[in-house]
Structure formats: structure tokens, C-alpha cells
Structure 1
Amino acid sequence: MNEFGSIYYQEDLDHLIQNHTLSLLFVSQKNCSVCQSLLPLIKQVMQKYPMVKLGYIRADQFPSIAGIYSIFTAPAVLFFVEGKEYFRDVRFVPIQAFSEKVNKIYSHFY
């Protein structure tokens, strides 16, 4: 089962992105109702893609994330390919379109 690992330190974030071919970062915020409803949907989609490494960050616990990745709202879903940001979806994420984007990328690698 593909699970989200919580990230609290810059080194952990760098490891997630740099040491995995495909990785996804879910950025949440305290008391964010959209974040709370979106995360289970993203988890469900990502179960189909076991080779994607998943990370979870609460922006209020890791404030430098906003500056590093220019994240100004939550939730934000960032998808990385070979250490580079490939796409991002923020706030209201259309699940079907998100799933199609991930599938297209994943099929090129696995």
C-alpha cells in the first residue's frame, strides 16, 4: 500500500524529491476543510501507482515551503519527475484530470 510520509525537515523533502524517479508532495494547512476532503481522494488515486513516493507537509509546520516552492494556498499537490517539478494542482483539484496526468507520466516509466 502506497502511504504518505510526513515531512518535517528540508533534508527529508530533498530526499523525497531527489532520490525517487517519481514523487508527489501534498501540502496541507491546519483547519483546511478542502485539504481534509481532498487528501483521501488523492490517496485513493495514488494506490494505483505504487512506484510514486508520497510526501505530506503541513505548511503551517514547515513555513519555508511556501518560499521554496512558491505555494500560496492549500491544498497544493506537486508532482516531481526525476527531481524536477512536472506539474502542480492547487486548491480545487479535479480528480479525474489529476488521475489522467499521473497515469500518463507513470506509464512512461513503468
Structure 2
Amino acid sequence: MKKTTQLSEALQRIDTEDTIVLFLSMPHCSVCHAIEPRLQKLLSSFDLPAFHLDAHEVPEVASTFEVLTAPVILIFHKGKEVARQARFIDLKKIESLLTQLTQITDAPSYEEIFNRKKDQ
């Protein structure tokens, strides 16, 4: 998990990656310090971009992601937020969701479906 002070980098990756994980924390948050190594261990099983943003160093994360507490784990898929866990983190649910998201194959588009039928 890459710790960054660049909100713009995380936002750009949300738009370009299939699935991305964001971990938002505060420096004096004991729950944040307890969850971070466990999340890093979980993420080591997946080949996904993950970013750690410190809301104290990058205060605009609170308004950008509408976050009121820490820690927060946000999961984005195809540019959309698909999961949010705040304060009480269930890593088993996160692992299950990430497993599902990494196994999804892209469905053909509407055009691809109907162009195949014309070609046959």
C-alpha cells in the first residue's frame, strides 16, 4: 500500500484502474494504527493498487470522499465506490469483496453483442 500526500494521484488511479483500495487515516488514531498492518497483509494477496492517505497531511480527503471519521477503507471498481467501511473494519468482508472483484471478467458491450450477431 503506497502512502501518498498526493490526492490527485489517487483520484487519477480511481479513474484508470479496474479496482483500487484507499485507506484514510489520522496520525493519532489508535484504530488506524491497528488496522493498517492487517490491511497491508490482506492486500499482499491481491495485485491491486492501494493508497494510504493521511487526513491530517491531506485535509481535503475528508470533503472529497465525504469522510467524517477514521479509519476509512474505500474500494472503487470501474471508477465507482462499491464499498466503504469506517471505524469498525471487517477485513473478512473486504477480502471477500476484493476476491469477487478480481474474478469479474468484463462483460461485452451492447455494441459487441449485436455486432457479433450481424457478422454471423
Q: Same fold (TM over 0.5)?
A: yes
Structure 2 CA distance for partners of 1:65 and 1:20, relative to 1, 3 Å: same
SS of the residue 1:24 aligns to:
strand
Structure 2 CA distance for partners of 1:96 and 1:10, relative to 1, 3 Å: closer
Counterpart in the other structure of 1:33: 30
The CA deviation string for residues 58-93 of structure 1, in whole angstroms up to 9 with x for no partner, is 001111111111100000000011111111111111
Q: Which stretches in structure 2 are left out of the alignment for 5+ residues?
A: 107-120
Counterpart in the other structure of 1:105: 101
**Larger CA Rg, structure 1 vs 2:** 2
Q: Residue 74 of structure 1 contacts residue 91 of structure 1 at CA under 8 Å; is this kept in 2?
A: yes
Q: Residue 16 of structure 1 contacts residue 55 of structure 1 at CA under 8 Å; is this kept in 2?
A: no
SS of the residue 1:104 aligns to:
helix
| TM-score under structure 2 length normalisation | 0.81
Count of residues in correspondence between the two structures: 106
Q: Percent identity?
A: 22
SS of the residue 2:9 aligns to:
helix
Which of the residues 50, 70, 73 maps onto 1:74? 70
Q: Which stretches in structure 1 are left out of the alignment for 5+ residues?
A: none
Q: In structure 2, how many angstroms separate the alpha carbons of the residues matched to 1:7 and 1:18?
A: 17
